[in-house]
Chains A and B, each alone.
Chain A
């Protein structure tokens, strides 16, 4: 009985961890997108484009 209950608790904990991880990842990405949108300037952009050209 106890073993079964413990296994269930473990499963719940794992599921909660997975959900949390997903939510945190989502928040981090949304934050990154916003920051980048606001902060990308001429220089950074041309650096990116030059990078791209170099990698081709």
Chain B
């Protein structure tokens, strides 16, 4: 049983390379997001799962539902997916497409969770420090979590930098209990 992301990767790569060649990244990104949202709707899930339809019909129906949200070429892409019975992978494909796009445009999404509201000065300081470290433009999303007691936790993709008091306390606990 191969992982979903392994199955989705070739499609995402193909879509991305096509979009880069056509210099059309933004519109492809929006199309894929829309198609992914559509494919997760309950009724659509039923449609995709029902055994009576041919792949042609599935493709046509999905494209109809998406309507104007998707661009011309994406329709062909959806047809290819339907032929190979991979319409269910759309969420994964969209996610990987976004990752490739972010990589190319040298941006990255990070989340900062802090115990109290951060001032703009502080937010900028963190943003610039991270920017320098990761060599990317940083899109920051800030949120509050009182259980951190103090400090903040920064998450960028896989990387986590824990500067919160809660985190330090758990480190202390580990050291004491071992």
Interface size grouping (class) on chain B: 20 to 34
Q: Is there contact, CB below 8 Å, between B152 and A48?
A: yes
A42 to B133, CA, bound (A): 27
* B residues with CB within 8 A of A: 114-116, 118-119, 122, 125-126, 129-130, 132-133, 149-152, 154, 161, 163-165, 169, 172-173, 176-177
Q: Mark A29-49, 1 if CB is under 8 A from B, else 0.
A: 100110011001010111011
B19 CB, nearest partner CB in chain A, Å: 33
Instruction: Give chain A residues whose Cβ lies under 8 Å from the Cβ of B115.
Output: 40, 45
Contacts across chains A and B counted by CB atoms under 8 Å: 69
Q: Is there contact, CB below 8 Å, between A22 and B163?
A: no
Judged by DSSP, the binding face of A is: helix
Q: Is there contact, CB below 8 Å, between B116 and A51?
A: no
- Nearest first, the 4 A-B pairs at minimum CB distance are A52-B163, A25-B176, A48-B151, A56-B129
A34 CB, nearest partner CB in chain B, Å: 10
Q: Mark A17-34, 1 if CB is under 8 A from B, else 0.
A: 000001001001100110
Instruction: Give chain A residues whose Cβ lies under 8 Å from the Cβ of B122.
Output: 46, 49-50, 53
Q: Is there contact, CB below 8 Å, between B129 and A33?
A: no
Q: What are 20 of the A-B contact pairs (CB < 8 Å)? A: A25-B177, A29-B172, A29-B173, A37-B149, A40-B115, A42-B116, A45-B114, A45-B116, A45-B151, A46-B119, A48-B150, A48-B163, A48-B164, A49-B114, A49-B118, A49-B125, A49-B126, A51-B151, A52-B154, A56-B129
B80 CB, nearest partner CB in chain A, Å: 43
A56 to B151, CA, bound (A): 14
B119 CB, nearest partner CB in chain A, Å: 8
Q: Is there contact, CB below 8 Å, between A36 and B149?
A: yes
* A residues with CB within 8 A of B: 22, 25, 28-29, 32-33, 36-37, 40, 42, 44-46, 48-56
Residue from A44, A45, A51 having most chain B Cβ neighbours under 10 A: A45
A17 to B130, CA, bound (A): 46
A19 CB, nearest partner CB in chain B, Å: 12
A56 to B122, CA, bound (A): 13
